[in-house]
Amino acid sequence: MIQNNWINDLQLKWGRMQQAMQQMEADGCLLTVDVNLYYTTGRIFSGYFYLPVEGKPWFFVKRPNGLKGEQVIYIRKPEQMPELFAANGLKMPEKLLLEADELSYNDYIRLQAVFQPKVTANATALMRKLRQVKTPYEIEQFRISAKQHAKTYAEVPSCFQTGMTDLEFQAEIERRMRLNGSFGMFRAFGANMDIFMGSVLAGDNAETPSPFDFALGGQGMDSSCPLGANGTVLKEGTAIMVDMAGNYTAYMTDMTRVFSVGKLTDLAYRAHQTSLKIQSEIENVARPGTSCAELYNIALQITESEGLESYFMGTKQQAKFIGHGIGIQINELPVLTPRSKELLEPNMVFALEPKYVIPGVGAVGIENSFLVTESGLEKITLFNEEIIEL
Amino acid sequence: MIQNNWINDLQLKWGRMQQAMQQMEADGCLLTVDVNLYYTTGRIFSGYFYLPVEGKPWFFVKRPNGLKGEQVIYIRKPEQMPELFAANGLKMPEKLLLEADELSYNDYIRLQAVFQPKVTANATALMRKLRQVKTPYEIEQFRISAKQHAKTYAEVPSCFQTGMTDLEFQAEIERRMRLNGSFGMFRAFGANMDIFMGSVLAGDNAETPSPFDFALGGQGMDSSCPLGANGTVLKEGTAIMVDMAGNYTAYMTDMTRVFSVGKLTDLAYRAHQTSLKIQSEIENVARPGTSCAELYNIALQITESEGLESYFMGTKQQAKFIGHGIGIQINELPVLTPRSKELLEPNMVFALEPKYVIPGVGAVGIENSFLVTESGLEKITLFNEEIIEL
């Protein structure tokens, strides 16, 4: 079941979970959602991962056939678990953690009926909290993604041909991503967070408000996928914001660079430099213990001092965050909002993305992925940060 | 809010919903999941669609900014709805339909607390039942997808170069898809149905069992995405099954063709011909009123008469269906299983995919999308059905 190169990482994660469960006085945690299974077992399968507050984890597998290992038990349906608990001398949990923000209502009710715990608590909240502080193995994975992400961005200028649309440009970037090892898969937390491989925003399409919780919008190709590129022709004077996925390992980096066809307006360059100034100021200030709200406020203050509020994080609709944790999902914790109560901790990894949308030009700004170290921030997505003329 | 070209289609859908709600004695239906919002409003937004059993629907919108129209009301949170119901003379529902198989447990509980209905019933089950019988507008959309799907498949031979891996081949097919108008987005019903743009299965990778409810498996690039291509080199004697998405409109067609490097074994060709025979026999038999179980059984009987059971729908793990409804999601109703109680109805659209996996060669077989008409089946995905040598 568990590959050898993973076992230390998984044991570290199980230990953190059990420590948290002790504090919550929970007896067990049952996980079945893809990202939580991957986090705790190193693979995605159909079935359940059960961790008691003490002792080793159990793997109840429906599919695929053929998994072997310690404490791996095949089942057809969750209703078999109580009997299997009894047969294996495993105590039924009185306080059980279930993924309340991810399981469907019917699936949750079904598991509640199976286990009949006295109390349930929210495994989604616990796992999202634990997952925000990364392990050494996870940090290694981010570094691999970051390197490939930068490699793809270095190829972006060669994807451009005069007269292209944003969609044609994006299709060629997607091909380079795939050839550089992108998995394609793009995971986000929350309902209706529909996105495909990232976003290329050109010109005034960047002003289109989005139904989603991503930083910027875009009309998209169709009302069924209302995000990103919409067929805009890449003409002289257009800013093109490339914010494509860093999904080269299961741990995604997040990184945005701006390209231009010819020269942009002075306002666009000034706004871009303001983004770089925000990034630089946040790099100076941030360390373990810094509040995420403070980082947002730095960005807002610098924006106000430049008189750029009406362009900040959109025009017709403005996102109220300037960064977010990254990991197996693109929108992990913490979130850098004005009201965030979270403090930075060592080994958090987050994306910082102060951006501006300039009517008549497009979106400008920067996004990089940062690791929080004992002494400050380490930028892991390294590539030219100026606006690159195509 | 609603575009003019859509209004007739949406009114037809609302009418069907209200008819079903009358039969269930439900007072109202509240939808918030992406596919159901798209189905009932023609767009995806963040918010809620509310249809009372009689009268016009209401649109409670959180994002994007700027939507206008009759009965469009902006809200920040669902807790505002009771007050807005009262202010607009809208009766609070005593029996309320909520998406019990799609909403998270916490979201469902929250909506229950907001509306405090005497009874709730499952909107997911209702919508999946209604969505399986397509409207004229939806059928038009399938025809557009089918045409582009076939266009891409005609380009597949030109995507191949000697010595390529399955992943390189797939990356080039994906580029052609995107240039032919593929939205990229691939929607599936159910938890953990993680797939990117479809599947290319070459050689023995087709034997790898999958954790998912798709017809075949494949190891994938990584244990976080265990499906499809895995880096297999496309060498002489290999069958390559191309089952890539038909997502050229919001209504996806499903279509598989097999390509080969050089010649395959006699067994592989015989199995492929058996798939075509199954398809042909099902085309002869199927009409409104035919049971989906009967279609599965035809496939199984023909398979047994050819002695191919051990290759049918996989080897190490065998899928127990040979087809499924298609639509906004790739796995809609009905499902063609041995135990299915569903009967074909006019304007259902489904994919039929009898397939075999031949060890040492790869996967062979056919998949096409069919419309159920008054008199039988109409195949809508039209393209050469033999194994195409690259």
CATH code, domain with A222? 3.90.230.10
**pLDDT of A274 strictly over 90:** yes
Strand, helix or coil for residue A41: helix
Q: Say whether pLDDT at A192 is over 90.
A: no
Structure tokens at B168: 């390189």
pLDDT band of B344, cuts 50, 70, 90: very high
CB contact under 8 A, B184 and A167: no
Residues from chain B that touch A197, judged by Cβ atoms under 8 A, are: 184
Determine the pLDDT at residue B372.
98
User: Over chain B, what is the mean pLDDT?
Assistant: 97
Same domain, B178 and B319: yes
| CB contact set of B253 (below 8 Å; sequence gap of 6+) | B142, B145, B146, B149, B246, B326, B351, B369, B380, B381
A183·B196 Cβ contact <8 A = yes
User: Mean pLDDT throughout B226-243?
Assistant: 98
Q: Please tell me whether residues B82 and B213 are part of one structural domain.
A: no
Are B110 and B134 in contact by the 8 Å Cβ rule? The answer is no
Q: Are A238 and A347 in contact (CB under 8 A)?
A: no
The sign of the torsion formed by the CA atoms of B178, B183, B185, B186 equals negative
C-beta atoms of B179 and A168 within 8 A: yes
Distance from CA of B376 to the nearest CA of A (A): 31
Within 8 A of B208 by CB-CB distance, chain A residues are 64
What is the phi-psi region of residue A307: left when phi exceeds 0, alpha when psi lies from -120 to 50, beta otherwise? left
- In this structure, the number of other CB atoms found within 10 A of the CB of residue A366 comes to 24
Would you state the pLDDT for residue B192? 82
Is the pLDDT at B204 greater than 90? The verdict is yes
Of B5 and B173, the one with more pLDDT:
B173
- A192 contacts B171? CB cut-off 8 A: no
The domain boundary, picked from A91, A115, A131, lies at A131
**Rounded-to-integer distance, Cα A167 and Cα A280, Å:** 32
Checking if the pLDDT of B2 tops 90, the result is no
Residue A193 scores a pLDDT above 90? no
* Domain edge (last residue) among B110, B130, B150: B130
Under an 8 A CB cutoff, do B168 and A185 touch? no
Does B194 have pLDDT greater than 90?
A: no
Residue type, A50: Y
pLDDT at A120: 98
Residues A107, A240: one domain?
no
Residue B5 confidence (pLDDT) above 90: no
For chain A, the first-to-last Cα distance in angstroms comes to 48
- Is the domain of B172 the same as that of B306? yes
| ipTM for the whole predicted complex goes beyond 0.95 | yes
Per-residue confidence band for A119, with pLDDT thresholds at 50, 70 and 90: very high
CA distance B286 to chain A (A): 32
pLDDT mean over A132-141: 98
Q: Which of A34, A212, A316 sits opposite B194 (nearest CB)?
A: A34
pLDDT value of position B333: 98
Same domain assignment for residues B269 and B330: yes
Does A245 lie in the same domain as A223? yes
| A and B: number of Cβ contacts within 8 A | 190
Q: Inter-axis angle of helices B105-115 and A105-115, to 10 degrees?
A: 100
Look at residue B193 in the predicted model and tell me its pLDDT: 85
Same domain (yes/no): B12, B75: yes
Distance, in Å, from the CA atom of A340 to the CA atom of A291, rounded to the nearest integer, reads 8
- Predicted confidence (pLDDT) per residue in B79-88, tens digit: 999 999 999 9
pLDDT at A376: 98
pLDDT for residue A2 = 83
Which residue from B42, B43, B226 is facing A44, i.e. has the nearest CB? B226
Nearest CB partner across the interface for B223, out of A43, A210, A316: A43
Q: What is the pLDDT of residue B98?
A: 98
Residue B339 confidence class, pLDDT cut points 50, 70, 90 = very high
* B185 contacts in chain A (CB < 8 Å): 194, 196, 224-225
Residues A243 and A383 occupy one common structural domain: yes
- Same domain? For A205 and A245 the reply is yes
pLDDT reading at A375 higher than 90: yes
Q: Is the pLDDT of residue A256 over 90?
A: yes
Greatest extent of chain B over all pairs of C-alpha atoms, in Å: 73
Query: Do B22 and B163 share a domain, yes or no?
Result: no
User: A171 and A125: one domain?
Assistant: no
- Is residue B310 pLDDT above 90, yes or no? yes
A5: pLDDT confidence band, cut at 50, 70 and 90? confident
Which among A103, A105, A230 is the top mutation candidate for probing chain B, defined by the most B β-carbons within 10 Å of its own β-carbon?
A: A105
Q: Above 90 in pLDDT, residue A201?
A: yes
B201 contacts B133 by C-beta, under 8 angstroms: no
Q: What is the pLDDT of residues B351-381, one digit of tens each?
A: 999 999 999 999 999 999 999 999 999 999 9
What is the chain A residue with the closest CA to B44? A224
Based on the structure, what is the number of domains in chain B? 2
Nearest to B105 among A44, A62, A100 (CB): A100
For residue A334, the model assigns a pLDDT of 98
Residue A200 predicted with pLDDT over 90: yes
- Which of B97, B113, B130 lies at the terminal end of a domain, its last residue? B130
The helix (run of H) or strand (run of E) holding residue A352 is: strand A349-352
Question: Measured on CA atoms in the order A157, A231, B43, B126, is the torsion positive or negative?
Answer: negative
Residue A310 scores a pLDDT above 90: yes
CA A67 to the chain's CA centroid: 29
Q: For position A89, what pLDDT does the model report?
A: 96
Domain of B159 in residue numbering reads as 136-389
Q: Is the pLDDT of residue B6 over 90?
A: no
pLDDT at A305: 98
A107 and A163 assigned to the same domain: no
What is the reported pLDDT for A30?
Answer: 98
B312 contact partners, CB below 8 Å, separation of at least 6: B299, B300, B303, B318, B354, B355, B356
| Record: contact B44-A211, CB cut-off 8 A | yes
